[in-house]
Amino acid sequence: MEHKLKILEKKWLTHDVMQFTMVKPEGFSYSAGQAVEVTLDTPEFKDDWHPFTFTSLNEDDYLEFTIKSYPKHKGMTLALSKLEKGDHFIITDPWDSFENKGAGVFIAGGTGVTPFIALLRQLEADGKVNGSKLIFSNKTEKDVFLYQEFKEMLGDNFINVLTQEEAERFLHGRIDKDFLKNQIDNFNQPFYLCGPENFADDIKGYLKELGAGDDLVNISL
């Protein structure tokens, strides 16, 4: 089933990450970690669907999406970046992108963190976020978003890594086997992985070498 959503608010979290607050259809429900397919009601995007994850929770009276714009691609995210309050886009019914296995280690590259926002918010709402850790890798400091929320939620278990610059408060380098060994002391817990290109597969390989089992590693679909 398709749902046409009206934009209540649009704001930019960084130079290229936008957040949409949408009208929630009556009776619409979903769970943290679920995603939908999105399109626009225009001839250009007819039957051109793209997956995005909710960053709101089911108990919220609105729907929220946090989406990175890729202007060079001249595709869906560029079109979404041009929408404003009062405009619409269309979504499908929700489907599972991640299985919620409870508290664990969340490892994200860039906007690969977006599926984790609702999962972490739900764990916090349920009083079960303690023990979770978020390792968030970005190119530069200006690419980091929701820093304050993650910091308040996770404290010292919010680990930021920059790959292309050095800055105070942030680690520098890439997430490799040695990095994971230094940052994680228990590999018998759930791991959630999401990022660009081969990011998640590479991290999964390192985690398996360090003792994590396949059943403990959850990669975005």
How much is the pLDDT for 185?
93
36 lies in the same domain as 115: no
109/66 same-domain check: no
Q: How confident is the model at residue 197, as a pLDDT?
A: 83
Residues 6+ apart with CB under 8 A from 26: none
Q: Are residues 62 and 36 in the same domain?
A: yes
Q: Contact, 14 vs 145, CB < 8 A? A: yes
Instruction: Please enumerate in sequence order all residues whose Cβ is within 8 A of that of 146, keeping only pairs 6 or more positions apart, or say none.
Output: 13, 66, 113, 117
Checking phi first, is residue 66 left (phi over 0); if not, alpha (psi -120 to 50) or beta?
A: beta
pLDDT score at 71: 74
- The total number of structural domains in the chain stands at 2
The answer, yes or no, to whether residue 88 has pLDDT greater than 80, is yes
Band the pLDDT of 7: cuts 50, 70, 90: very high
Identify the pLDDT of residue 47. Answer: 85
The residue to which tokens 């940052």 are assigned: 183
pLDDT reported for residue 98: 84
pLDDT tens for 33-87 read 999 999 999 988 988 999 999 999 999 999 999 999 987 767 899 999 999 999 9
Residue 98: count other Cβ atoms within 10 Å of its Cβ: 23
pLDDT attached to residue 221: 60
Read off φ and ψ for residue 46, nearest 5 degrees.
Answer: -60, 125
pLDDT class of 142 with cuts at 50, 70, 90: very high
pLDDT reported for residue 99: 81
Mean pLDDT, rounded, for 163-190: 94
For residue 13, what is the domain's CATH number? Answer: 2.40.30.10
Question: With contact defined as beta carbons under 8 Å apart, do 134 and 154 qualify?
Answer: yes
Q: Does 76 share its domain with 134? A: no
Q: Which amino acid is at 66?
A: T
Q: Mark whether 126 and 176 lie in a shared domain.
A: yes
Q: Are 140 and 48 found together in one domain?
A: no
Q: Given 74, 96, 118, which residue is the final one in a domain?
A: 96
Query: Is the separation of the CB atoms in 191 and 218 below 8 Å?
Result: yes
pLDDT for residue 126: 96
Tell me: do 111 and 87 sit in the same domain. Answer: no
Average pLDDT score over residue span 165-172? 90
Domain shared by 40 and 130, yes or no: no
What is the per-residue pLDDT across 37-51, written as a single tens digit (0 to 9) for each? 999 999 889 889 999
Q: Residues 62, 129: one domain? A: no
Domain extent, residue 201, equals 105-219
Which element (helix H / strand E) includes 181?
helix 177-183
Question: Which pTM was predicted?
Answer: 0.93
163 and 214 belong to one structural domain: yes
Do the bridges between strand 105-109 and strand 88-91 make them parallel or antiparallel, or are there none, so unpaired? unpaired
